[in-house]
Amino acid sequence: MSKYQIAVVVGSLRKDSFNRKLANAIVKLAPPEFSFKQVQINDLPLYNQDDDANQAESVKRLKNEIKSAQGILFVTPEYNRSIPGVLKNAIDNASRPYGQNAWAGKPAGVIGISIGVIGTAIAQQHLRNVLAFLNIPTLGQPEIFIQAKDGLFDESGNIGADSKQFLQNWMDKYVAWVKKHAA
Ligand SMILES: Cc1cc2nc3c(=O)[nH]c(=O)nc-3n(C[C@H](O)[C@H](O)[C@H](O)COP(=O)(O)O)c2cc1C
């Protein structure tokens, strides 16, 4: 088993999601001591505080996956200049009941891709606010805001040659961040 297991949270449910493609491609740039698993968020209930004492199995599963991971990787689209509701719903579900926030202390990175020119910049900033409140130490720099363009991924789903160094640099910094902050 890899020393560092990373829970990857992709904020899009879309079959051909660019963000899922980005998640699948960037993890190939990590060293062998890191392994990555995308967590399922499409079967979570809409968060309802009345359910705190009796959380759904899907919520318990997500919380266990987060708690057993050494780090988190958020890969988010931008919806209407913020994060998608499905991502916020997953974050809220795993943050409760009060005092049992599964995210607390887990080192995290935030990346994203959109079709717009500012490439999820505003969504990422909104997400950082939420993560700060949840006591998630989040890599500040480098930031990456990616606009979906031809050639970003090659035919095998790897990062294309033009963007590889840029994303490798981000991954190297993320790896160092997780190693520094993992419990
Ligand atoms: C409801 C909705 C709102 C959107 N708002 C934005 C936005 O604020 N900024 C942006 O760059 N793209 C926006 N887009 C376009 C997304 O960048 C595009 O749909 C992208 O493919 C979503 O990510 P995905 O491919 O991972 O699903 C929006 C798309 C949807 C469906």
pLDDT by 10-residue block (mean), the chain, 183 residues? 94 97 98 98 98 98 98 98 98 98 98 95 98 98 95 94 95 98 94
The per-residue pLDDT for 112 is 98
d(CA 67, CA 73): 14
Cα 113 to ligand 1 centroid, rounded to whole Å:
9
Is the pTM value of this prediction over 0.85?
Answer: yes
The per-residue pLDDT for 2 is 83
* 26-64 exposure pattern, b = at least 16 Cβ within 10 A, e = fewer: bbebbeeebebebbebeebeebeeeeeeebeebbebbbe
Strand order in the sheet with 145-147: 34-38, 4-10, 71-75, 108-114, 145-147
The per-residue pLDDT for 179 is 98
Name all residues whose Cβ lies below 6 A of ligand 1.
12, 14, 17-19, 77-81, 114-116
The per-residue pLDDT for 54 is 97
Atom of ligand 1 nearest to the CA of 116: 11
**What is the CB neighbour count within 10 angstroms for residue 118?**
13
**Which residue minimizes the CA distance to atom 20 of ligand 1?**
114
